[in-house]
């Protein structure tokens, strides 16, 4: 099998497992594999496609905690942010791209590990939620990272667990669907990408389902430590491989 397909399968399987285990994170985990050698536009398209597929699988599990008033500000902001992210994508330098992904993982993941100890943020109301949604939309347009900042924000807001899961999954699902449509319209998704898309779906399907089963048997704390620890290590490795070259 071509080395590119091996890398795509490995990233999709690992990311699918994490997606099933946590309900989010496909794009970050997959990028920790793909950002090493895959062209940024191709990696972003695959990450959005895989994330959307995972969210569609997860959407049927969201039965409790749905709150439209909580969700709508995030979605409204996200719809404004997606076009900007899509426009930025073609202009990204590969080394800068790797450094940004690495920095994101190396900073955001440790923050999430200790987020429960951070003070609750109550200010800003729906406007602040909309701004956070816009940031999520921009990051979604760049590479499918729609849930990174909104997840942290909801944690800092101290949303009820069911409400937070509902907001993040429904926000991700809507943003990823719009992002994929934007990619297709803007020509980011090309015909030669389709064979890779066809590989991603079967590669992630079983690991995603396994992840959902494993989730039932471990504590939230254990899951967070394992996943966020691995992602932090991946981010540091990407920074080490890209920053020296950028400085040179």
pLDDT tens for 109-149 read 887 777 666 778 888 889 999 999 999 999 888 877 788 78
pLDDT for the residue numbered 89: 81
Instruction: Report the helix count and the strand count for the chain, using DSSP H and E.
Output: 10, 0
Pick from 172, 183, 178: nearest CA to 133? 172
Residue 209 tokens read as 């389902």
User: CA 157: distance to chain centroid?
Assistant: 20
Pick from 233, 24, 29: nearest CA to 12? 29
Residue 190 tokens read as 């090309």
65 sits in the region (left: phi over 0; alpha: psi -120 to 50; else beta) called: left
The domain segmentation of the chain, as residue ranges, is 3-247
- The predicted-structure confidence for 137-183, as pLDDT tens digits, reads as follows 998 888 777 887 888 888 888 887 778 878 888 898 899 899 899 88
Is pLDDT at 10 greater than 80 in this prediction? Answer: yes
pTM of the model: 0.79
């Amino acid at each position: 099998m071509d080395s590119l397909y091996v890398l795509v399968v490995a990233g999709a399987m690992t990311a699918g497992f994490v997606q099933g285990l946590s309900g989010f994170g496909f794009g970050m985990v997959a990028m920790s594999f793909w950002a090493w050698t895959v062209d940024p536009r191709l990696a972003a398209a695959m990450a959005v496609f895989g994330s959307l597929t995972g969210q569609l699988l997860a959407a049927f599990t969201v039965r409790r905690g749905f709150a439209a008033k909580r969700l709508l500000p995030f979605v409204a902001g996200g719809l404004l942010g997606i076009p900007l992210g899509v426009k930025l994508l073609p202009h990204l330098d590969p080394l800068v791209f790797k450094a940004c992904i690495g920095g994101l993982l190396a900073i955001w993941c440790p923050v999430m590990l200790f987020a429960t100890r951070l003070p609750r943020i109550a200010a800003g109301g729906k406007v602040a939620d909309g701004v956070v949604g816009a940031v999520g939309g921009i990051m979604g347009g760049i590479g499918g990272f729609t849930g990174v900042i909104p997840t942290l924000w909801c944690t800092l807001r101290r949303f009820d667990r069911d409400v937070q899961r509902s907001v993040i999954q429904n926000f991700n699902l809507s943003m990823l669907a719009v992002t994929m449509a934007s990619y297709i319209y803007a020509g980011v998704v090309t015909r030669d990408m389709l064979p890779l898309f066809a590989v991603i779906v079967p590669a992630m399907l079983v690991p995603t389902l396994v992840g959902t089963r494993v989730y039932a048997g471990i504590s939230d704390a254990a899951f967070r430590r394992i996943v966020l620890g691995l992602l932090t290590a991946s981010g540091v490795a990407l920074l080490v491989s890209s920053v020296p070259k950028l400085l040179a």
